Structure 1
Amino acid sequence: MASNAPVGKPTDMSSPRLPKVAGIDSTVPAPPHTVAPLPGVPSAATPSDAALPPGVLIQDRLASWVSDLTTLHELTERLIKTDSLDGALREMLGAGAALVGARRGMAVLEPADGLGPTSTIGLGLAHADLGTIETVPRGSGSYGRLLDGLPEADLPGAGLPDADPPGAGLPGNSPTPPRRPARVPEPIAIRDVRTEEGLDPRHREVAARLGYAASYALPLATEEAGRLGAAVWLYDEPAEPDERRRHLIGLYGRFATEHLARLLQVERARARVATVAEELLPSRLPRVPGVRLAVRHLTGPQGGGDWYDALPLPEGALGLAVGSVYGTGPSALAAMGRLRASLRAYAVMEGEDPVAVLSDLELLLRLTEPARSATALFAYAEPAQRRIVLAGAGHAPPLVVGDHRTEFVETSLSAPLGMLTCWEAPSVELSPAPGETVLLYTDGLLRRTGDATDRAFARLHAAAASVPRADRSDPGAVADHVLRTLLPGGLDPAVEGEDVVLLAARFE
């Protein structure tokens, strides 16, 4: 065993050494992503460094950097999985609390452009606590100073020309002035609320009531995204994060801000699509004697082309329609609006003949939009006689729900509009009994289940048959029960671009 003993200085020999390369200094510089080692690790300026072997300090520093990078990687991975603003704010609050060593906090989303949305999220704070904090004068609170400390002139592009002046950059002309980046305010640390100078008395009163003694506020702002909001973490005792924690929360905060900016764009796009879709659909359902109506319309993130309509016709009649335009996005919404407006006109002129209405609609679609197809179902109802005449073009059959039956209406098989040179299919007549509800729906209701077509139809039939007897007198309750039973988790996120329309008509 003695022959295997190390020779010389074991520590020096086992210490990692950087290769010597001509022209390259082997000294390891401090990386830009960390400004201080973990607590307990001696720094290069301490006298104890002289007694440490050269490789030990490097290893400890590297271990500290690797630990910080691993922590940031794990936290950002969790943040990037969030797909909503509220979810991202809550995840950011929890991760930030761990990084700065706090227990409670709040995040305020308030984009500087004023276009919204705005919200306030709390961590370890009840809704009443958030309301109490908001009673602090805005100029005294940390988050208020951050939100108001970024003037409009410092936002990206503010006060700068939208385009370069004519001739800018050409020889002999003045160069184009560079655009100034947005100014990002510095974080605000209040080590002790009781002794901090310049605080409003109300601030100290609220802090004493909620039991926090210090705070650290971080702006949710970057040069590219501008100001989106602010986050504040609250300490139970006087404290403030050290330099290392500030650096880590700063890196994480910049990443979180960019992620929030992306989610904000998506949220605004969804809101615009939903607004356009709602404006293209009826604002209210008509009241016609002998029938009660209810509708449920669920829109996916991309916005589909599903639509519905209910319009009074001469002699007490009622026109009911549902349809779907293939495609998603603004173009599908625009086509849906044109198709619905055209069907209303044809229904007023010749609503007694649903086949003629759909034939005219198919001709219009083929002439004006030959590359697009759509499904549609139009029903001409006479509530006084409880008589319905309907025709469908590639559309799912209606479902009749009553005390004594739950069955699909047998309609003829027909191609969607725009698929044939000339569309025409026979109509179907039915007479719902008093108290029965007729359900008209779009294909999205079936596709959103994620099941095969035959199984989706079977599930729809079972959902309608299971409507409680007490709810069958209310068409809205019937529609709600069917949706809850068929789509218990809401719209299936795995099926994109499919809206859901469910129109219920109960005949008295």
Structure 2
Amino acid sequence: MLDIPSRVRVHVETLLAVQNDMGVCDAFEQYAPAGKPNTMNAPHPSKVAGIDATVPAPAHTVAPAPAATDASPASFANSPAAPHAPCAPGTLLQDRLAGWVSDLTTLHELTERLARTSGIDAALQELLRAGAALVGARRGLVVLEPDDGLGPDTTVGLGLARADLGHIETVPRSAMPHGTLLDTAAGLPDGEGEVMRPDLFSEDGLDPRHREVAARLGYAASYALPLSTETAGRIGAAVWLYDEPAEPVERRRHLAGLYVRFATEHLARLLDTERTRACMATVYEELLPSRLPRVPGVQLACRHRTGPRGGGDWYDALPLPDAALGLAVGSVTGSGPGAVAAMGRLRASLRAYAVMEGEDPVAVLSDLELLLRLTEPARSATALFAYCEPALRRITLAGAGHSPPLLVGERRTEFVETSVSAPLGMLACWEAPSVEFQVAAGETVLLYTDGLLHRTGDPVDRAFARLQAAAASVPRARRHDPEAVADHVLHTVLPDDQDVTGGREDVALVAARFE
């Protein structure tokens, strides 16, 4: 980061001459502090984006010297006309420094706001708003189209309705600025490739359809930049639209270019996160049941939330011989691809054991524990398996370090009393007694993983109380539908804005209503 001392020895004309050939930061680095000048004694500007200073930017009342007429303006506002009178070099330099600090302040604030976005859509909207402010436009659109072909591909507009974007899409791609940027075969160098069209209707050879759409939407000029850097590659293009013929000055283009390069890197990171999340979701869809079985006497519903890294929470429901039903939930320690793979192996094994000896849940979990110790010695897991007989409304279950089921009915909302047991893989030999209980007609049994409790951030006893209260508050008119019960419990226990883990914990929930 940079530190501008209160006194700087700079040759004014030399500094202004090199201003066009280097960025603000480069100029500050080249002209390091030295000595004590006689002509400049103003206090230094306030600290912004790593610059140590104490004074806000003064009003620009001094016209630039003739030798620096092509230099970038010092602030977004145009300097008012001033009489051609000589000005002190120190005053001119102070004016320039104040303008640079103002620009850095703007960039710092805009990049900070962008960095706080955590989703692609929010980041694209912020990019459009900030870019419009920098280039002096009112509307725009950004086309996200990564050149690796992995997606996601989307178009987002600022001040443009969905129908407006549809009209723009009818224009031949090669006639639009973003098409020019995105279809460049060799890509675009970092910081290059801007497309500026200051007066569309006076252009020779303007595509007729583009002319028609521009007239319909009421824009007469455009300025486009590629979302492209050396590290991120080319991931899209942004276009800002002007209501009247116009073009941004060089300083505005320079600031917009700096901001867009930062935005490109940020969007590339969000793309990686989004792709990882989508990949994990696809893996989960393949490993978990694609659909729930239909067993007479029972209605089923399930809910599953996956963390960004992917965890080991799972659920299962499978028909068994003699019109029985097997229900299971569990969780494998760890996160990421390894935990997901272990979860898949464990679930597949439990299904096999359940078919062979499902009427004895203890035997099912004992076999699973032995398999886990032999194949996954570094992991442990919690699991709960319930053998259900819908015709008798009778359930026999065994749990290994897992939370007890919750019964939800007209006359009771209570947890099933289960024996205390260790998770699988924690002891040399797992063993715990099974529990048998009766379910009344119309009651719903909720099986869930610990992630539902952990996401609340409450102590264990308060988390259980919160879950019980949520189940008890299900409206009576909706208790006949397990889908409604599952949704109500999940949304009551975990409102969208009260997940203290930030979605890192997986959640699995199964609701089984007995008729």
Counterpart of 2:431 in structure 1 is 424
Of 40-49 and 244-253, more deviation after overlay is shown by 40-49
Shift of 1:326: 0.9
Q: What residue is the counterpart of 1:6 in the other structure?
A: none
The separation in 1 between residues aligned to 2:144 and 2:281, in whole angstroms, is 22
1:78 corresponds, among 105, 113, 118, to 113
Alpha-carbon separation, structure 2, partners of 1:496 and 1:488: 12
Q: Residue in 1 aligned with 2:41?
A: none
What does 1:356-367 align with in structure 2 at a 5 Å threshold?
356-367=363-374
Query: Distance in 1 between the 2:410 and 2:119 partners?
Result: 42
Residues 39 and 477 (structure 1 numbering): CA distance in 2 closer, same or farther, change over 3 Å? farther
Match status 1:337 vs 2:359: no
- Report SS of the residue matched to 2:200: coil
| 1:11-410 aligned within 5 A | 18=9, 29-30=18-19, 32-34=22-24, 41-45=63-67, 51-149=86-184, 151=185, 154=186, 186-410=193-417
Instruction: Say whether the 8 Å CA contact 2:331–2:382 is kept in structure 1.
Output: yes
Stretches of structure 1 lacking an aligned partner (at least 5 in a row) = 1-14, 156-180
Aligned-pair distance for 1:223? Answer: 2.0
Question: Considering only aligned residues, what root-mean-square deviation do their CA atoms show, in Å?
Answer: 2.4
Q: Structure 1 residue 17: deviation in Å?
A: 6.1
Q: Which residue of 1 aligns with 2:486?
A: 479
Contact 2:191 2:261 in 1 (8 A): no
Q: Distance in 1 between matches of 2:152 and 2:369?
A: 41
What is the letter of the counterpart of residue 352 of structure 1?
A: E
Could you report, residue by residue, the CA deviation over 1:293-335 in whole angstroms, capped at 9, with x for unpaired residues? 1100011111110000111111111110000001110110011
CA distance in 1, matches of 2:196, 2:338: 50
Assess if the C-alpha contact under 8 Å between 1:450 and 1:495 holds in 2. no
TM norm structure 2: 0.85
How far 1:187 sits from its partner (Å)?
1.1
Q: In the alignment, is the contact (CA less than 8 A) between 2:62 and 2:92 conserved in 1? A: no
Aligned to 1:443: 450
- Matched residues in 1 for 2:462 and 2:101: separation? 52
* 1:111 partner SS: coil
Equivalent residue letter for 2:280: V
Within 2, Cα distance between the matches of 1:40 and 1:188?
Answer: 33
Deviations 1:378-431 (A, max 9, x none): 000111111110010000100111111111111011111111111111111111
Which gives a bigger RCO, structure 1 or 2 (Cα 8 Å, sep 6+)? 1
**For the residues of structure 2 that align with 1:226 and 1:370, how far apart are their CA atoms?**
42
Q: Secondary structure at the match of 1:284?
A: coil
Report deviation, 1:197.
2.2
- In the TM superposition, residue 371 of structure 1 has moved relative to its aligned partner by 1.5
Identity of aligned residues (%): 72
Number of equivalences? 462
Runs of 4+ with deviation above 2 angstroms: 25-31, 34-41, 46-50, 181-185, 493-497
Work out whether residues 310 and 319 of structure 1, in 8 Å CA contact, stay in contact via their aligned partners in 2. Answer: yes
Alpha-carbon distance in structure 1 between the residues aligned to 2:165 and 2:61 = 34
Q: 1:33 offset after TM fit, Å?
A: 1.7
**Mapped contact 1:216–1:234 kept (Cα < 8 A):** yes
Q: Which amino acid aligns with 1:384?
A: A
Contact 2:295 2:319 in 1 (8 A): yes
Deviation at 1:291?
A: 0.5
What's the offset of the Cα at 1:41? 4.3
Letter in 1 for 2:131: G
Structure 2: state its 5+ residue gaps: 1-5, 28-58, 70-82
Looking at structure 2, the residues matched to 244 and 495 of structure 1 have their Cα atoms a distance apart, in angstroms, of 40
Report how far residue 198 of structure 1 moved: 2.5
Post-superposition shift, 1:182? Answer: 5.4
